[in-house]
Structure 1
């Protein structure tokens, strides 16, 4: 019988999809010694390039079940991976803390109860008289904003992370093919992935990380998986108000479901993932800036200096994400909805374990 190490060195794995999940799987598997090929027709246009990189794990309120276990594992794995990737980009880091805010009293009571019940020293209630709340209320010209702060959660620069992963994968000589896979089939214990140009790529295993398009490559009768398209979008707003310094705000926070990142004294980013659509609406500015009863003057007069969006997928009829071993040598990892960046380490660890079990 071949040793596990021999199996690893000879096993060839194809990953379809070059977003954060595909890249992270390639990272983990190449570290284990596998020969990895990533296939994606439009690497720079996938939804990961439109992500804000918020890592909201520890403040997740449902602390049981599969979703919490994945979050918990990723929270523990992220610092290890950051330390490892800093060899390729010393500036890469997780900016902490992360703040969740609301103007809804009922929602605040739930947040308050969550903090009290969990007795977690890394989670605190932000009282009305805290300097952070005072600065936020002053900037947004309101008195109603309250919330909680998590010192374990934060944000990683999504674009910087993706570029660092590319650097690492190039260093490891991971093969990257720019093609669209339209069909996969199994023949003589090998998987054959066929491109639109009729090129056949053989491998021992295939991992589907290509979001909505993953279900086009599997037998829907055997695997009843349904996905909905979800539009994630963000805008960078430039303000012209000498009295408002956006750097007085926390670096990353969430108000009533909208994610906000203070970029500079006069620029901020607002993002959200909440539309079942594939194209942004014309009133993007209104949709993303209407998270308070009354908009502050500086935000009302703000100008969009940049905007971007990405199509994500959300499972229909089952929890997010979909991580399944469909058949021998075929794994699917998709439907991460809002949490691709957060859950990437836990996903890649799960995939690696599945492959070890399959090969040994």
Structure 2
């Protein structure tokens, strides 16, 4: 039987928690969103660059490809409901290895057969329009008009505001305990605000809690503990001023040797990121390699000025594909471990959560 809870507790302040709280409220749920404000620290979603790599994924089939495609379609439907969110559509993935050209062209051909507008652009086509992309071994690139980038901070603010209008009750509290109580679940809360309650009784709990999930479930019965561990993977990013960037700029967000370059509204400014470093401590060497595109950066990028830098930690599942979507017990759902695709996959995760809890999708506005 589907669960129709009186109160749903959504735990987690990142993109997955934000989208899930908002979507469940749109579906008619009474939502308490436990999302502590993190002060000066950047949560993973705010440390993200917000790149949406869906259609240009190299996954030909399977779960990962289905989730990406479905989530991009949902973003297209849901973003107009959230008000103005800075967004850039159209993503270019550059190719610098001659032996990959044929495979990437075949990928573009397959996607077209599936109704996905993915195209191959030759080296000359790219450089004639965007000379900033010049490098000695550029072979061409994949152009994905329906992939892109969303600015994380305005996106999370828009979701919070839209959720509040729908009746989402946000509490800035940490969940430090979770115990069954009859058919419900008792959450132990910790907050700096003395007026914040110390417990919450919910009929269902949605855990969008990343690396903290295992600790939260540690006291539960072994049959419903988190048996799928996650490991931290750190990513560093920076904002650059590039006075030597050619006037044509970049063709929107670009993936260059695995590094993301995101044009900003201010001229000659870019975001660059992100490293993939095991653990939760950033290394200067990895940051420098990122800035230099591992020794292949063009002159305009090598002479860029770093205006600011930041880092965030992602949760990567060990031994299982990302993300983790599972019902751990009646009324306890796990939606975590999205690794580098939290913002991309947040809508499809929220939609899955709504279905698991028995809520039909609302009619389009």
Give TM-score scaled by structure 2 length.
Answer: 0.87
Listed as ranges, the matches of 1:196-275 within 5 Å are 196=190, 199-219=198-218, 221-222=222-223, 223-241=226-244, 244-245=245-246, 247-263=248-264, 264-275=266-277
Q: Report the secondary structure of 2:276's partner residue.
A: strand
* Distance of aligned partners of 1:314 and 1:297 in 2 relative to their CA distance in 1, 3 Å threshold: same
Residue equivalent to 1:19:
14
2-structure distance, mates of 1:349, 1:255: 32
2-structure distance, mates of 1:71, 1:148: 17
2-structure distance, mates of 1:327, 1:15: 15
Shift of 1:33: 1.5
Structure 2 unaligned regions, length at least 5 = 192-196, 360-365
Bigger mean CA offset, 204-213 vs 285-294: 285-294
2-structure distance, mates of 1:164, 1:56: 22
Residue equivalent to 1:170:
164
CA offset digits 1:70-101 (Å, max 9, x no partner): 1121122111101222xxx2x33642211111
Q: 2:69 aligns with which of 68, 72, 76?
A: 72
Q: How large is the Cα RMSD of the aligned pairs? A: 2.4
Residue equivalent to 1:279:
281
Shift of 1:245: 2.8
Shift of 1:250: 1.2
2-structure distance, mates of 1:246, 1:319: 42
Give TM-score scaled by structure 1 length.
Answer: 0.89
Residue pair 2:241, 2:270 contacting (<8 A) in 1 also: yes
Number of residue-to-residue matches in the alignment = 345
Residue equivalent to 1:48:
45
Listed as ranges, the matches of 1:123-202 within 5 Å are 123-130=118-125, 132-136=126-130, 138-145=131-138, 146-196=140-190, 199-202=198-201
* Distance of aligned partners of 1:94 and 1:328 in 2 relative to their CA distance in 1, 3 Å threshold: same
Shift of 1:355: 0.4
Structure 1 unaligned regions, length at least 5 = none
Residue equivalent to 2:329:
327
Residue equivalent to 1:348:
350
Q: Report the secondary structure of 1:96's partner residue.
A: strand
